Amino acid sequence: MTIATQSLFERQSLHRQPNLPRNRWNVFFTVLAGFFALIAVLPLLLVLLYVLIKGGSLISLGLLTQLPPAPGTSGGGIGNAILGTFLVTLVASLIAIPVGVGGGIYLAEYSRGGWFQSFVRFGTNVLAGVPSIICGVFIYGLIVATRLLFGESYSAVAGGIALSVLMLPTVIKTTDEGLKLVPQELRWGAIGVGASKFVTVTRITLPTAFTPIATGVVLGIARAAGETAPLIFTALFSPFWPEGLLKPIATMSVLIFNFAIMPYEAQNALAWAASFVLVMLILGANLFARWLSRFASST
């Protein structure tokens, strides 16, 4: 081995040279990417900070348990709107979760291609991009204007149906993708010991994909809970406690809309307080969904 060849195989210490052009460009683009990431997150931070300043100081037990005051008067709370939001979201969940999970199971487990599968996937993608106000107008014309629900017009059920339409794409797509993550060997093993397709889906694939499916459900609920336009056309608003699922009902999003445009400081303050509560609920739901997704990846 010659001296020149031997020098090629000698260990040499590596030293970073910041003055090299490629290293300077690397630092520049790293800083630029970090700056753009900060800009992307900045609106969320500003919204949280502003809502916290304007509405966080008003949070009290009375605010969460009392009815809103009459226009022009002070005091009261948003208790009926909080309860109404949970009721409407519950109705939407009872409709959207079974239908959405069933649709995702069909796409992932039973469909074998063809035009119908393509139609369902395409329809789900289109429905995910439909403006929420269109869903509200659709349910208004289908249920509210026709008084289809036992002769009643505006109601919590109508609002829940409108929100369920918005939840469906999220639940269907996350169920479909969650079931695709299940190893095919689990299905083959179940079928190999004599299990039917139904037993394989209900006992093997669905329990295995429970966490990603639950994550999609939580994200769908979080999106539906913050919608306003569909509820204006379907659930309307009520200044009283809920009188049933077939009557108009208060929700926090509609309360924020109504009180924010009133020329009274007390109602404006309640709108900010309701905004803070609603943002915290949605933020908590999203954090819970992220925890579920991390739990799935760790297991």
The 10s digit of each residue's pLDDT in 256-291 is 999 999 888 889 999 999 999 998 888 888 888 778
Kindly indicate the confidence band of residue 183, based on its pLDDT and cuts at 50, 70 and 90.
confident
| Structure tokens, 237 | 């608003």
Instruction: Give the pLDDT of residue 81.
Output: 93
Q: What value does the mean pLDDT take over residues 109-117?
A: 84
What is the average pLDDT across 199-215?
A: 87
Q: pLDDT tens for residues 208-225?
A: 888 888 888 888 888 888
Expressed in angstroms, the distance from the first to the final Cα of the chain is 54
Report whether 159 contacts 91 (CB < 8 A): yes
Is residue 163 within 8 A of residue 227, CB to CB? The reply is yes
Q: Is 19 helix (H, G, I), strand (E, B) or coil?
A: coil
Tell me the whole-structure pTM to 2 decimals: 0.83
pLDDT 10s digits, 7-54: 555 565 667 677 777 888 888 999 999 999 999 999 888 888 888 888
User: Above 80 in pLDDT, residue 6?
Assistant: no
pLDDT of residue 232: 92
Does the domain formed by 82-298 have CATH 1.10.760.10?
A: no
Distance of CA 7 to the CA centre of its chain: 61
DSSP E strands in the chain: the ranges are none
Q: Which residues pair with 149 in a beta bridge?
A: 152
Closest among 106, 284, 108, 81 to 181, alpha carbons compared: 108
* Cα–Cα distance for residue pair 102/98, rounded to 1 Å: 6
